[in-house]
Amino acid sequence: MLDALVQLVEMLVVLLFAPLLVGYVRKVKALLVGRRGPPLLQPYRDLLRLLRKEVVLAHSASWVFRVTPYLVFAATWVAAALVPTFATGLLFSYAADMIAIVALLGSARFMLALAGLDVGTSFGGIGSSREMMIASLAEPAMLMVVFTLSLLAGSTQLSSIAAFMQGDVGLRVSLALALLALGMVAIAENGRIPVDNPATHLELTMVHEAMILEYSGRHLAMIELASHIKLLLYLSIIGCVFAPWHIAVSGQGSAAYLTGLVVYVGKLAAGGFLLAVFETAIAKMRVFRYSDFLGAALMLGLLATLLRFVSRVT
Amino acid sequence: MALQILLWCAAALLGAGAIALYRAASTLVYGIALAVTLLALAVGGAALLAPDSLGGALTLPVGLPWLGAHFRLDALAAFFILVVNLGGATASLFGLGYGSHEEAPGRVLPFFPAFLAGMNLVVLAADAFTFLFTWEFMSLCSWALVMAHHRRPGNAAAGYVYLLMASLGTLALVLAFGLLAGPSGGYAFDAIRQTPPGSAAASAAVLVLALIGAGSKAGLVPLHAWLPLAHPAAPSHVSALMSGVMTKVAVYGFVRIMFDLAGPPSWWWGALVPLLGGLTAVMGVLYALMEHDLKRLLAYHTVENIGIIFIGLGLALAFEANAMPAAAALALTAALLHVFNHSVFKSLLFYGAGAVLGATGERDMERLGGLIHRMPYTAFAFLVGCAAISALPPFNGFVSEWLTFQAILLSPTLPQWLLKFLVPAVGAMLAMSAALAAACFVKAFGITFLGRARSLRALEAVETDRWSLAAMFALAALCLLAGILPGYFIDALAPAIHGLTGANLPRQEQLDWLTIVPIEQSRSSYNGLLLFLFIALAAGLGAEVIHRFASAALRRSAAWDCGFPDASPATQYTAGSFSQPIRRVFGTVVFRAAETVDMPPPGDVRPARLHVRLRDVLWETLYLPLSQVVAYGADRLNGLQFLTIRGYLTLVFGALVALLMVLSIWQ
Amino acid sequence: MSPNDPLMTSLALDVAHLFAGGLVVVSFMLLYQDRMTAVINIFALHALVVSLSVAWQAAIQDAPHLYITAAIALVVKAVVIPLALHRIVMRLGIHRTIEPVVGTGLTMLAGIGLVALSIMVMLPITQQAGTLAREDLSFALSVILLGLLLMISRRNAVSQVIGFMSIENGLILAATAAKGMPLVVEISVAFSILVALIVIGIFLFRIRERFETVDIHLLHEHRGEQP
């Protein structure tokens, strides 16, 4: 019973905190460059505003275009709800392990890329083709990180990995490499600088924004919410694997859950701060350097997996 | 009992082929083929689910006099009978609709049921001669089908290359069976099982020959070159059979030889086969990404999936060689499940391509587009196929890929150093090919069906007939079903796996909510049904909340045009432009891709041209030099045709003297 | 805590191992860069990591003479030489973009192959040593091989010098990882003098950017279109 409640709270936490996280990152970025920045709750206001607006559909848009926002939202939300944020041992964590979570995000991306091609403009095509190119390198890199973690923990379930990392793991080279690779993949997948700029609509800097350029109204609200949830998901994965302190294990009582929740908010704040600092400090790279960047992430992941295969210690 | 029924089914199919020689009655022939394959499917499925009824053997007094023709139905054969006849049934169903606008039915109808019969008989064969005979029969029937439209440009060349590669493959298999039969010469599979090859060198030779023979038919790189030429040349339902089913019969041949007949494997087999599989997977999908002919794209993509299957088979060999039967069972289950899954979704995709070809007359994606508005049902089924083949949950492609990854994650326990380095690299190749496959099918579906029509024919396309749609929807439903209920499929495979490796995965059907657990619960599990339900519920909940609280207003308008109104659909992304980033990243290395732009100076009104040059490195380094050497040799030998009588007498005299010398030295 | 305390020992060895792994990662970062100033700065980081690693080894092995090696690495290689190289690049107007012989992706792939090779070589032949020491040695060999790869995959003299110096850093890592190697300090001083002389040589003899000809068409390559 308590497990079901924890799972429900987890799903709500993921849904409700995501826009707050994005608002926080934007605020920190603004403060770092000397501006006041938008209020913390602005993303909620943006979503509500979009919900009230009329949807404008292009004449050539098909049912794929209309169905995609719901599918993208659903896939991303389900994936995020299966990542331990403040508690492990979620009721349905056996339904999907890390490989399945990566694949769920891949489904969302597949539908979004199709929606980009649906209307038949060149902007949508730019976004879709660049997004699939990024995915063709980022997804293997992510899978290499998953391999490293699961070879270490003896399981591909995120709950088991989190529980293992809470134990006595020590400093390992393969984990450091996996962390680096995961960070690079997270930046690429969420469309943050240096891979994509979520704030502009210039052709040179659009990948995600180009795919969703035609969306408006409630459809756009769902897609924006899905991308906020995706950022939360990646930060949660990094938090639960590499900073697994105070994640409540099932059966520890409600005090542990509350502590876990508070510490989780702190982890999000720290992660968001680091992301904002990184984005402010670095410039966006050219599109055709993406392959070098993600290739480096893939190499790091491969090196980490290789070390796990050959060594007993690293 | 089951075996007799299956042999009668094969005979019925041959009979239908014979009828078609007299009267090209399309509906009759396809109808008989449908009924017979459905019967065989039911029998095969029943046999697989009731493993005690398996093991029947039969010997017919045809063929070699001292050998006869042995047939046997064991668990592995039952599984492949299932796969073959599922493909055959849906192809016949599709053919009922598609065949009505076949322009040369007399060239297709006799060979179609014969092809199906040949494939069934290969799987049932239990001695080397019958196997090889039916294998060649299958190849020749499919060659005839490839040559059905031989006047179309490129088809004759495709048929020629196919014939060459098929002959090479059969030669390799003849030699392999010769080595397996050994000096005692017993060709029945039972006899071969009793006497495994004596030396490691003989086993190694058997592996290489099996890889050449079965691998060339399946499409392993570098022997894949005939596949993208021949598969698209055939009519669409035959392409589906060749890609979806005949390649699987080739996999059956490999599994039968290497896992059943060749004796205990050596560890380095488990290094060579996954490496080939990984290279095949990556090369196949990269080739597919560069294509803009829909059927060639699908054919190249078959190569990728064969690579995935061979990765699983290779890992199973590695685990077998190291006496880890449970892990071998997992790897083999992953491979065989992918055999089934691929035959389902590749057939579906080829039927969709056939429907598009029939409706528009175009295979080139650059001239299609917007078909989702004109052919909505085909588009939906094709979308399901694309999602399944891109390994997206909750469809079936994800399940077999997940199982392969689980097998890779078991590999650190392998003791050999080379394997420890190779398997993570192969895992990376598999992951990369999965991601590239998704990109490939976004392109295939997006350019063909979405967007705006790029030609008049695409604008005026009409939906296909009911039979074709029925075939496609049946397969689409199967894709979803196999993804949601994978436990039943894994359990059904268990007898075949047990027969080959001696171990089993844990029984899946008692687990909660139909989860699958390949090794043990604490290690990894996956539940397709729950994921499907969650996604549906989340999407439904989202839609409900939105419709309750958000504005429901909707307005149709023009697309965002940045202030430059363009009515021309030529401004949309094309297939070539979609794959350009990936071509830039991978293509410069793998294909020596080069783009040249011919930009006219200002004032010149001719259009600018972008020219993309791709070179098929394998074709140029392997096939062309080989063909040049053979052509040179043949040219020189041609001189023998024009000798004088005295010259021929000298040749006979020389041969006689040489034989006598050899005889004397040997004694 | 004494060096013999078991808790201290395992943490200490883990940190040393982490430094070695970090050096391999920084070597990959050197391979990844495409601008001259970035390469020189990353090399300074390389030297910093080496000096930290040597200092840590000095602390846990109780070998104070290694502190001198660490200090030399820090002062000479992390500060003086990068500054000198920055000045050379500016004074001689050396072309700031580095042209790799094959693309970055292939170079990194070759780098992975080299790491795999050094693991494959080192682990079987050091069966007697402790596990961490064996892996530190394989990392050190990887750094050496990656430095060589850097040298052969760039057309630019300054990056070849940097490659040479990173080989040297790898050797220092190997020498200090294996406890009790004699003459470490002396060898590192000798290498540092050698490198300083090479750098002075570049400065004095004004060896220009590359040993191959400059072609204007090569500049077009770096707008992204391959010929």
Which chain B residues have a beta carbon less than 8 Å from that of A196?
Answer: none
Q: Which residues of C touch A176 (CB under 8 A)?
A: 18, 21-22, 25
Taking only residues 526 to 565 of chain B, the set having a beta carbon closer than 8 angstroms to any beta carbon of chain A reads: 526-527, 530-531, 534-539, 542-543, 546, 549-551, 553-562
Is residue C225 over pLDDT 70? no
pLDDT at C103: 77
In a domain, B204, yes or no: no
Residue A254 phi, psi dihedral angles, 5° rounding: -70, -25
pLDDT interval class at B642 (50, 70, 90): confident
Of the pLDDT bands very low, low, confident and very high (cuts 50, 70, 90), residue C176 is confident
Domain count, chain B: 3
Q: Locate the chain C residue with the closest alpha carbon to A302.
A: C112
Residues of C with CB under 8 A from a CB of B: 103, 105-106, 116, 120, 124, 224-227
pLDDT value for C3: 46
Nearest Cα neighbor of B236 from B576, B471, B13, B587 is: B471
pLDDT in tens, B349-401: 999 999 999 999 888 999 998 899 999 999 999 999 999 999 998 899 999 99
Per mean pLDDT, which range of A15-19, A44-48, C219-223 is the poorest? C219-223
| Residue B27 and residue B92 share a domain | yes
Q: In b/e form, how buried is each residue of B399-411, taking b as 16+ CB within 10 angstroms?
A: bbbbbbbbbbbbb
pLDDT of residue C7: 52
pLDDT value at A215 more than 70: yes
Of these ranges, B116-120, B489-493, C182-186, the one predicted with the greatest mean pLDDT is B116-120
User: For B242-293, where are the alpha helices, taking DSSP H only?
Assistant: 247-255, 269-290
Out of B507, B542, B577, a domain closes at: B542
- Binned at pLDDT 50, 70 and 90, residue C223 comes out as very low
| Minimum mean pLDDT range among B109-118, B572-581, C185-194 | C185-194
Positive or negative CA dihedral for A9, A12, A14, A16? negative
Q: pLDDT at position B94, please?
A: 92
**Contact between C166 and C146 (Cβ < 8 Å):** yes
Question: Helix/strand/coil (H, E, C) string of chain C?
Answer: CCCCCHHHHHHHHHHHHHHHHHHHHHHHHHHHCCEHHHHHHHHHHHHHHHHHHHHHHHHHHCCCHHHHHHHHHHHHHHHHHHHHHHHHHHHHCCCCECCECCCHHHHHHHHHHHHHHHHHHHHHHCCCCCHHHHHHHHHHHHHHHHHHHHHHCECEHHHHHHHHHHHHHHHHHHHHHCCCCCCHHHHHHHHHHHHHHHHHHHHHHCCCCECCCCCHHHHHHCCCCCC
Give yes or no: residues B251 and B270 share one domain.
no
Task: Compare all CA atoms of chain B with the CA of C115 and give the residue at the minimum distance.
Answer: B421
In this structure, the answer to whether residues B333 and B293 fall within a common structural domain is yes
Q: Choose between B639 and B375: higher pLDDT.
A: B375
What secondary structure letter does DSSP report for B266? P
Whether residue B91 is found in the same domain as residue B134: yes
- Domain assignment present for C138: yes
Instruction: State what percent of residues in chain B have pLDDT above 70.
Output: 99
Nearest by CB: C120 against B421, B584, B595? B421
pLDDT digit string, tens, across residues B207-249: 999 999 999 999 998 889 899 999 999 988 999 999 999 999 9
- B222: cis peptide before it, omega within 30°? yes
In a domain, B566, yes or no: no
Mean pLDDT of A74-80: 94
Q: Are B214 and B175 in contact (CB under 8 A)?
A: no
Is the pLDDT confidence value at B545 over 60? yes
Question: In the structure encoding, which two tokens stand for residue C7, read together?
Answer: 């808790």
What token pair was written down for B324? Answer: 């880890």
Whether the predicted pLDDT of B515 surpasses 70: yes
Which range marks the domain in which residue C39 is found? 6-223
Provide the 3-class DSSP secondary structure of residue A248: strand
3-state SS class at B418? helix
| pLDDT score of C87 | 84
Q: What is the pLDDT of residue A18?
A: 94
Last residue of a domain, one of B258, B281, B304: B258
What distance in Å separates residue A173's CA from the closest CA in chain C?
Answer: 5
CA distance B236 to A152: 48
Looking at the structure, tell me whether residues B301 and B388 fall in a common domain.
yes
Evaluate whether residue B216 is within a structural domain. Answer: no
Report the range of poorest mean pLDDT among A123-127, A305-309, B358-362: A305-309
User: Residue B109's closest CA among B11, B35, B28?
Assistant: B28
Residue C100 counted as domain residue: yes
Tokens 């490939």 belong to residue = B440
**C1 in any annotated domain:** no
B594 close to C (CB below 8 A): yes
Instruction: Look at residue B574 and tell me if it is in a domain.
Output: no
Query: To 5 degrees, how large is the angle CA B415–CA A158–CA A227?
Result: 125
Hey, what amino acid is at A65?
Answer: F
CB C105 to CB B595 under 8 A? Answer: no
Residue A133 contacts C, CB cutoff 8 Å: no
Report which secondary-structure segment, H or E, holds A67: helix A63-81
3 state DSSP class of B598:
strand
Asked, for residue B201, whether it belongs to a domain, the answer is no
- What pLDDT is attached to residue B527? 85
Mean pLDDT along residues A191-218:
82
Q: Are B285 and B437 contacting, i.e. CB atoms less than 8 angstroms apart?
A: yes
CB contact under 8 A, C116 and B585: no
pLDDT tens, residue by residue, B282-308 = 999 999 999 889 999 999 999 999 999
Is A295 within 8 Å of C17 when comparing Cβ atoms?
no
Best of C108, C142, C221, C225 to mutate (most B CBs within 10 Å, chain B): C225
- Most confident range, picked from B645-659, C124-138, C176-190, C200-214: B645-659
Do B31 and B151 belong together in one domain? yes
Report B:584-623 residues touching A (Cβ under 8 A): 584-585
- Give me the mean pLDDT over the A150-173 stretch: 84
**Which position has the higher pLDDT, A221 or C61?**
A221
Q: Who among A176, A286, A296 is closest to C108 (CB)? A: A296
Q: Is residue C49 part of a domain?
A: yes
- CA-nearest of B428, B384, B621, B197 to A301 is B428
Residues B270 and B370 reside in one and the same domain: yes
- Residue C217: pLDDT over 70: no
Q: In terms of residues, how long is chain C?
A: 227
Question: Is the same domain home to B254 and B268?
Answer: no
Cβ atoms within 10 Å of A38's Cβ, excluding its own:
14
Q: Please state which of the ranges A64-78, B415-429, B470-484 shows the lowest mean pLDDT.
A: B415-429
Q: What is the pLDDT of residues A23-33, one digit of tens each?
A: 999 999 999 99
Inside any domain, residue B154:
yes
Q: Are residues B268 and B386 in the same domain?
A: yes
- Domain count within chain C: 1
Supply the pLDDT for residue B449. 93
- Nearest-CA residue of chain C relative to A292? C105
Q: Hey, what's the torsion of the CAs at C100, C106, C107, C113, to 10 degrees?
A: -160
Q: Please, how many CA atoms are within 13 Å of residue B562, restricted to the half-sphere of its CB?
A: 11
Residue range(s) defining the domain that contains residue B657 = 617-666
Return the residue of A nearest to C132 by Cα: A313
> Can you tell me the mean pLDDT for B93-103?
85
Question: Which tens digits make up the pLDDT trace of B558-617?
Answer: 887 776 677 788 888 889 889 988 888 888 778 888 888 888 999 888 888 888 888 888
Cα A183 from Cα C4, distance rounded (Å): 37
| Rounded Cα–Cα distance for residues B53 and B73 (Å) | 9
Taking 50 as the threshold, does the pLDDT of residue C224 lie above it?
no
| Contact criterion met (CB below 8 Å) for B459 and B359 | no
**B278 CA: distance to closest CA in chain C (Å):** 16
Does residue C111 lie within any of the structural domains?
A: yes
Distance from CA of C120 to the nearest CA of B (A): 7
Task: Examine the pLDDT at C180 and tell me if it is beyond 70.
Answer: no
Q: Is residue B200 part of a domain?
A: no
Q: Is residue B606 part of a domain?
A: no
- Three-state secondary structure call for residue A282: coil
Are B229 and B311 in a shared domain? no
Q: Which of B417, B421, B588 lies nearest to residue C226, judging by beta carbons?
A: B588
From the CB of residue C200, how many other CB atoms can be counted at a distance below 10 Å? 12
DSSP B362: -
pTM (predicted TM-score)? 0.90
Q: Are residues B276 and B412 in the same domain?
A: yes
Q: Are residues B301 and B240 in the same domain?
A: no
pLDDT at C204: 62
The string of pLDDT tens digits covering residues B179-202 is: 888 777 788 888 888 887 778 888
Q: Bridge partners of B613?
A: B594
Q: What are phi and psi of B60, to 5 degrees?
A: -100, 145
Determine the distance in angstroms separating the CA of A37 from the nearest CA of chain B, rounded to an integer. Answer: 28
C21/A295 CB distance under 8 A: no
A288 closest CB neighbour out of C17, C132, C224: C224
